[in-house]
Structures are given as C-alpha cells and as structure tokens.
Amino acid sequence: MKFSRGKASDEIPTASMADIAFLLIVYFMLTSTFAATRGLDFALPEDQKDTPLVDKEESVLIEIQPGGQLIVDGNPMRLDGVLDYLKPKLERNPMKPVIIRPDQNAEYGYMVAVFDELRQASEKIGLEVKNVSIPTQREIDMFWY
Amino acid sequence: MKLRSRNIQNQGIPTASMADIAFLLIIFFMLTINFEVDKTQVGLPKTDLRFEIPKRSAFISVTRQGQIRVSAGDEISVPVPGPEEVLSFAASVVASDPTKAFVLKADKDVPYQYVDRVIDALKQAQADVIYLLSEQATVEGG
C-alpha cells in the first residue's frame, strides 16, 4: 500500500489579498463621493447685543433685484463696476460699511456673486472691504423702520 | 566544451506587489474622502473664492422649491418642515458645540426669502460661522 506524503507550504497564501484589497477600494469608491467641500465663509456677529448698528446713510447699500440687477446707492450698476465705485469710498474710510440687501424674490446665486466680488476686493482694487453685512428681513424690520 | 544555457522563463504575471498597490489606494481613499452627509441635488452657485470647509460641519440644504434638510454633521440629513425648525436644530447644535461651523448648501435659483430665514435662524441661534457652499467659477489658480 502506498501513502502520499502531503507537503505543507511554508508560505502564507497571499493570492487573494489583492482581491480583498480591490473589493475594499470598490466599497470606498461606491459609498463615498468627492463632495463639494469648499465655499465662501461668512462670519456672523458673535453677540447680537454687541452688534454695531449700521446707519443706512453712512453705508453703501447694494440692493439685488430679481433677475440679478444691482442698485447701488440708488443707481443701477453692473457687478464688475461695484468695486470701482467702492474704491474711493474705501480709500477715505477703510471701515466703510457695505450692506447687501437682496430682494426676497431675488435668486440666492446673485447674493453669493455679489458677496464673492466684495471678498475679492483686495485682489482687484488693492483694498479690503472689511465691513460687509447682509441683514435679514427680520433685522431690517426691527432696526431700519 | 559546449555549454548550453537554458533560459527558463516564468510565464505567469508577477502579482506579488498588487496587494501593496491596492492597499496604498485604500489608504489614499480613506484619507481623502469625506462621507457626504447630505446628498440633496442642488445647483450650487459659482464663486471665484472658495475655502475648505471644516470636517463634520453641520449641513443645511435648501432646494430650489424651498425644501430644507439638516444634519449636525455626523448623520445623514433629515427634512424639516420649515425655517422655524432650523432655529431649534441650530440652537441644539450650538449648545453642544459653540464653535461648530454651519454649511449652507442652497440652490442658486432658490428665492432669497428661504435662505434669508435660514440665515436669520442661524443668527438667532448665535452660530459662529456659515460657509456658503459653492462650485469653482473659474479654473483653480487661473
């Protein structure tokens, strides 16, 4: 009678390691997405009691109409002209308050576009718009009228 | 004397390093990927300036129709009936972590009144900072 001698391998079998690893890669790729993780930051006043009241007459008022038309201090203006309008005012007063007031029916995207433009002031005109406020309708009702 | 060298070539493709490459890819994915807590489909506004949003920020999404979903950052977002509930949500988030950042993921075409109420709720809840989620308007660095 003949017995076969089973010869055990000395090595750890790693042939399926790559399969497992690629399965994990596929899992990560399917369960997660490269989400949009960037945006414009917008700091809110820390304490409402300490929030300085901005006088309408002393500030630059940017109104945004539905459709994206801008009215700056009562005058229609294009978005690319806003910073040029602000430049002499900021040279006189670097803390010049700028108020963005979108119409309640204006599209949100236009407000973001205006805010984005103001944040780029240091690159475009060499001056920073330090004092930007976007009052909410409740604040306008409470403090402006 | 004549010697004949015998060249025996291995016919298999060497796959020993395959696992190493795959695990490197896994580590890359694990480090770079953020699990999206809010999968609401919105058309984001485009901006030139964009800053990195802190991880685990609270999310508030507003669709074009004004529907609002919220997430404290660790769980999948849930719908809320209106902006009034955003205030109670934001207040609870701020109470647990006063420095928590909020991300406003609103559709660019939504009427501003919906966003206005959300921002107002965040102001009342004394939120520290809001990030207005956006897409890149131009090629980065260009």
Tell me which residue has tokens 């010049």.
A96
Nearest residue on chain B to A29, judged by CA atoms?
B29
* pTM of the model as a whole: 0.74
| Confidence check: pLDDT of A5 > 80 | no
Residue B6 distance to chain A (closest CA, Å):
27
Query: DSSP secondary-structure letter at B33?
Result: -
| In the predicted structure, residue A47 carries a pLDDT above the cut 70 | no
CB A106 within 8 A of CB B112: yes
For chain B, residues with pLDDT lower than 50 are 140-142
- Examine the pLDDT at A59 and tell me if it is beyond 80: yes
Of B29, B50, B123, the CB nearest to A38: B50
Q: What is the pLDDT of residue B128?
A: 85
Q: What is the mean pLDDT of chain A?
A: 82
Element (H, E) at A61: strand A60-64
Give the residue with greater pLDDT, B19 vs A67: A67
Give B124's contacts in chain A (Cβ within 8 Å).
48
The interface predicted TM-score (ipTM) is 0.74
Cβ separation A136–B120 shorter than 8 A: yes
From B57, which residue of chain A is nearest by alpha-carbon distance?
A37
Question: Residue B31: which residues within 8 A CB-CB, separation 6 or more?
Answer: none
Q: Given a cut of 90, is residue A9 above it in pLDDT?
A: no
Q: In angstroms, what separates the C-alpha of B4 from chain A's closest C-alpha?
A: 33
Query: So what's the pLDDT on residue A121?
Result: 92
Q: Residue B142: its pLDDT value, please?
A: 39
pLDDT of residue A19: 81
User: What distance in Å separates the CA atoms of residue B109 and residue B64, rounded to the nearest whole number?
Assistant: 6
What are the strands of the beta sheet with A132-133, ordered from one edge?
A75-77, A70-72, A60-64, A98-102, A132-133
CA distance B103 to A91: 33
